[in-house]
Amino acid sequence: MTTILVTGGAGFIGSHTVIELVKAGYEPIIFDNFSNAKPAVLARIHKICGKRVPCCFGDIRVRQQLETVFKENKIDGVIHFAGLKAVGESVKKPLEYYDNNVNGSRVLLEVMRDYKCSNFIFSSSATVYGEPDKVPLTEDSPVKRANSPYGQTKIDIEYMAEELQRAIPEFSVTLLRYFNPVGAHESGLIGEDPRGIPNNLMPYLTQVAVGKLPILNIFGNDYPTKDGTCIRDYIHVVDLALGHVAAIKHCLNQGGVHIYNLGTGIGYSVLDMVNAFSKAIGRELPHQFAPRRAGDVVQCYADPSKAARELNWKAVRTLEDMTRDSYNWQKNNPNGYDD
């Protein structure tokens, strides 16, 4: 039995990963302070996988709360999702982001070290590459100073974990750099439940589609791309979850630092996404062009071949799957987990 502590396991990517861990025969334990999640997700996870996944209410910054879990369970590895993730909010509240993300990760790593748990899998982001010099991005593409405190916390946590690994050679650090996670579980029971007006494209699209928001503003149509809108590598959250399972299988107890891009390798423009969504709902999704959004990179997509080669993992879900599942989740749960 391999027990995996999943910090932030009640959140969007964490909840999908917990399900895939159970399916693959692992024993996940969720650790979450529910600052951006709803307890209702736990019953939904139970319904999908037919198993009650243990959940500890706690904050990664509070050593004692983490220690309780490590004392009561033999934790073989940690998948670390917990953190704040809103780029715009991080500009207004930088200290909160450094405290929650960097300090929280430091406390977590300290407890792992003290309890001799030597497998750390971290939710990093393609944001560490900044504005790419060239695409697709490989794991060797340069890491650049981030243009938001959020992005900088990802870089800082990557470095901190790598430094700890240098000090403890048997420590295994896996840095998973996600591209743009979208979609939802095909059951329509779990999905992304942003607070207030969404910042990210897919939840905004789905809310326009169900009439919660009137129109999508496309930020910029004068970028040097095929149709003037920005290009991203959208990846289905279930594929991303399976990437974590593959990473555990490959990296557990291997020691060293392992870095993987988790993306599809395909870049879609914002207009591609609008068109795919219009097709999914059978009518044109209301949209208009608006000024560029500060801080957006022109294009960002992965070369995912290292993960394919070493982890034997590949994203297989299509854009159609992503739009269908996102829409299905939104339609079934117009108010997210409050329904």
Tell me which residues are annotated as active site. 150
CA dihedral 35, 39, 45, 47 (to 10 degrees): -160
CB of 26 to ligand NAD, least distance (A): 18
Q: Report the site for ligand UFG in 80-119 (rule: CB under 6 A).
A: 85, 87
CA-wise closest residue to 243 among 294, 309, 313, 192: 313
Residues that bind ligand NAD (CB under 6 A): 7-8, 10-14, 32-37, 59-61, 81-85, 100, 104, 123, 125, 178, 180-181
Instruction: Please state, in angstroms and rounded to a whole number, the distance separating the CA atoms of residues 213 and 209.
Output: 8
Q: Which amino acid, one-letter code, is at 10?
A: A
Residue 10 binds ligand UFG, judged by CB under 6 A: no
Question: Count residues contacting ligand UFG (CB under 6 A)?
Answer: 21
Token pair in block for residue 131: 């504005």
Instruction: Please state, in angstroms and rounded to a whole number, the distance separating the CA atoms of residues 192 and 83.
Output: 15
Considering CB distances under 5 to 8 angstroms, the limit depending on partner class, which of ligand NAD, ligand UFG, none binds residue 122? none
Q: Report the site for ligand UFG in 159-198 (rule: CB under 6 A).
A: 180
Q: Indicate the residue among 126 and 302 with the shorter CB distance to ligand UFG.
A: 126
CA atoms 249, 252, 255, 257: torsion sign: positive
Considering CB distances under 5 to 8 angstroms, the limit depending on partner class, which of ligand UFG, ligand NAD, none binds residue 232? ligand UFG
Q: Indicate the residue among 167 and 272 with the shorter CB distance to ligand NAD.
A: 272
Helix locations, 177-258, DSSP H: 201-209, 237-251
Considering CB distances under 5 to 8 angstroms, the limit depending on partner class, which of ligand UFG, ligand NAD, none binds residue 147? none
CA-wise closest residue to 79 among 161, 192, 188, 165: 161
Q: Would you give the distance in Å from CA 293 to the centre of its chain?
A: 21
Helix locations, the chain, DSSP H: 12-23, 40-49, 63-72, 87-92, 94-97, 104-114, 149-167, 201-209, 237-251, 270-281, 305-311, 319-332
Residue 232 binds ligand UFG, judged by CB under 6 A: yes
* Distant-in-sequence contacts of 93-96, Cβ < 8 A, 24+ apart: 93/149, 94/149
Q: Indicate the residue among 1 and 339 with the shorter CB distance to ligand NAD.
A: 339
Show the binding pattern over residues 197-226: x = contacts ligand UFG (CB under 6 A), - = does not: --xxx--x-----------xxxx-------
Considering CB distances under 5 to 8 angstroms, the limit depending on partner class, which of ligand NAD, ligand UFG, none binds residue 100? ligand NAD
Q: Indicate the residue among 151 and 265 with the shorter CB distance to ligand UFG.
A: 151
Binding site for ligand UFG (CB under 6 A): 85, 87, 125-127, 151, 180, 199-201, 204, 216-219, 230, 232, 270, 293, 296, 300
